[in-house]
């Protein structure tokens, strides 16, 4: 290299540009995929809570049946480790009782690994009875 000659040589710059842009696009793609996975897990857990609440609200079932139904749906879709903390309570006064299902689960940050009990969803359903309204 001579002194006083401007650096006009572009050899090797396309490889560096490809590496920088490729890294950025890969990170962006992985972030979008992780967001989609987190939304999917949240929707599965919420749908399981709704199904558990409506199942527990049937006249011939109880809260234990609602927990079992919610746990089965979550386990089938995303795994048993996401169905560990499910609670069912009854609120309201007869004949206007509601069944409330609350699910606390892991919020996925990297794949399915994430913050334990970082996500909480709830669902409610009117309780059915055999008697006249």
pLDDT tens string 17-35: 889 999 999 999 999 999 9
Q: How many folded domains does the chain comprise?
A: 1
Domain that holds residue 90: 13-126
Residue 132 lies in a domain: no
Residue 70 resides in a domain: yes
> Is residue 23, in this structure, part of any structural domain at all?
yes
**Any domain includes 80:** yes
Task: Identify whether 133 is part of a domain.
Answer: no
- Give the dihedral of Cα atoms 48, 78, 88, 43; nearest 10 deg: -40
Q: Residue 75 domain-assigned?
A: yes
On the CB side of 25, CA atoms within 13 Å amount to 6
Q: What pLDDT digit, counting tens, does each position of 67-114 carry?
A: 999 999 999 999 999 999 999 999 888 778 899 999 999 999 998 888
Q: Is residue 2 part of a domain?
A: no
């Amino acid at each position: 290299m001579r002194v006083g000659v401007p650096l006009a040589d572009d050899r090797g710059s396309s490889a560096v540009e490809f590496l920088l842009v490729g890294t950025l696009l890969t990170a962006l793609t992985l972030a979008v995929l992780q967001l989609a996975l987190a939304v999917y897990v949240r929707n599965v857990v919420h749908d399981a809570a709704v199904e558990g609440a409506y199942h527990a609200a049937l006249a011939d079932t109880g809260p234990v049946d609602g927990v079992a139904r919610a746990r089965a749906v979550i386990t089938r879709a995303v795994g048993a480790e996401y169905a560990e903390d499910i609670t069912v309570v009854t609120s309201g006064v007869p004949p206007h009782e509601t069944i409330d299902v609350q699910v606390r689960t892991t919020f996925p940050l990297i794949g399915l690994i994430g913050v334990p009990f970082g996500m909480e969803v709830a669902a409610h359903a009117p309780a059915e009875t055999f008697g006249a309204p």
